[in-house]
Amino acid sequence: MSAPSLDDELLESSSRTFRRAFHDLRDGFGHRELWLLLGWQDIKQRYRRSVLGPFWITIATGVSAIAMGVLYGTLFNLDVPTFLPYVALGFIIWNLISGSILEGADVFMSNEGLIKQLPTPLSVHVYRLVWRQMILFAHNIVIYVGILIVFPRTLHWTALAAIPALFLIAINAVWVSLVFGILATRYRDIAPLLGSIVQLLFFMTPIIWTEETLAGTGNESRARIAEINPLYHFLDIVRTPLLGGDQQLYHWIIVLVITVLGWGLALLAMRNYRSRVAYWV
C-alpha cells in the first residue's frame, strides 16, 4: 500500500476542524425529510406483514411492565395501583435510553452501505436512530395512558415538565450515538461491552424497585446507590412529573452538566474522526 500523498494529508487535516463538525450536524438536521422517512420506514419494515404491526412493541413492553409491577409490588408489599405506573413508566423510559445507547453503538456499522454510497452528512444516520427511538417511545407511552385510565391519579401542571425532559433525552441520545458510534466502529469490542454495562445499570436503576424500599432496610448507603448512576437522573426528570410527584432540582442540574460535557466530547470526536468513519465501517 502506498504512503498517503501530501494532498491526502492536507485534505484530512482540513476536514479535522470544529467548523466541519458543526456543518455536518447542521446539514444533517437539514436533511429532515430523509431521516424522518427512513426512521419511519425502519419501524414499518421491522413489523412488515404482521397483523398488529408496530403495536407489538407496545404489547411486549406492556406485558413486561405489568408482570414486573404486580410481581415486585407483591414481593415488596407495595400498593400495586401506585407501584404499577411507576414500573411501567420506568420500563418505557428505560427502553428509550438503553435503545439509544445500544443502537447508537451500531449506528454507523448498520448503515455501511449508505455511508459508502450516499454522500450525506454522518449525523443523518444518528438523527434517524433518535427519531426511530422517539417513535417507539410514542407507541409505548400508550401503556401508561391505559394504566392511568384503570388506576386514576391526580396530575398537576408540573407534568408538562416531562416535555422538556424528553427533549433533553433526545439531545443526549444524539451525542451518545455519535461518540459510541464512532468508538464502536473503530473498536468492535465496544458494542458488546456496552451491552453488559447497560444490563448492569438496569439493576442499579430504580425501575423495579424504589429508593424507599431500600431505605426501609435501615441502610441509607443502599438507598443512595441509584445516585451514582447517571441514567437514573435522566429517568427521574421524565417519570416523576408524570407520576405527579415533586422533582428535585439536582436531577436537572446533573442532566444539564452531562449534556454539556457529552456534547463537548461528541464535537471533539466528530472533529477528529468524522472523516475516517467511512473507512472503518
The pLDDT value given to residue 220: 59
Q: What cell does 10 get?
A: 492536507
The pLDDT value given to residue 234: 96
Average pLDDT value for residue range 124-133: 96
pLDDT above 90: residue 266: yes
pLDDT digits (tens, 9 = 90+) for 35-61: 999 999 888 887 776 666 667 778 888
Of the candidate ranges 61-75, 97-111, 207-221, the one whose mean pLDDT is the lowest: 207-221
Q: Bigger pLDDT: 29 or 213?
A: 29
Contact 179, 269 (CB under 8 A): yes
The pLDDT value given to residue 196: 94
pLDDT category of residue 101 using cuts at 50, 70 and 90: very high
How many Cβ atoms sit within 10 Å of the Cβ of residue 152?
9
C-alpha 141/C-alpha 58 separation (Å) is 8
Q: Bigger pLDDT: 5 or 54?
A: 54
Taken as a whole, the chain contains a residue count of 281
The pLDDT value given to residue 221: 62
The pLDDT value given to residue 138: 92
pLDDT digits (tens, 9 = 90+) for 192-231: 999 999 999 998 898 988 877 766 555 556 667 778 889 9
Contact 84, 151 (CB under 8 A): yes
The pLDDT value given to residue 158: 85
The pLDDT value given to residue 2: 43
Question: In this structure, which long-range contacts are made by residues 230-235, counting pairs with CB atoms below 8 Å and at least 24 apart in sequence?
Answer: 230/254, 230/258, 231/94, 231/97, 231/201, 231/205, 232/204, 232/205, 232/206, 233/258, 234/93, 234/97, 234/168, 234/169, 234/172, 235/90, 235/93, 235/94, 235/97, 235/205, 235/206, 235/207
The pLDDT value given to residue 100: 95
Q: Bigger pLDDT: 143 or 76?
A: 143
Q: Which residues contact 261 (CB under 8 A, 6 or more apart)?
A: none
The pLDDT value given to residue 28: 93
Contact 238, 93 (CB under 8 A): yes
The pLDDT value given to residue 10: 43
pLDDT digits (tens, 9 = 90+) for 165-196: 999 999 999 999 999 999 999 999 999 999 99
Q: pTM here? A: 0.88
Residue position matching grid coordinates 427502553: 95
Q: How many CA within 13 A on the CB side of residue 233?
A: 19
* Helix boundaries (H) for 205-248: 211-215, 220-223, 230-242
pLDDT category of residue 157 using cuts at 50, 70 and 90: confident
Fill in the amino acid letter for 94: W
Q: Bigger pLDDT: 3 or 247?
A: 247
Q: Which residues contact 96 (CB under 8 A, 6 or more apart)?
A: 133, 134, 136, 137, 140, 169, 173
The pLDDT value given to residue 11: 45
Q: What cell does 189 get?
A: 469490542
Residue ranges per structural domain of the chain: 37-280
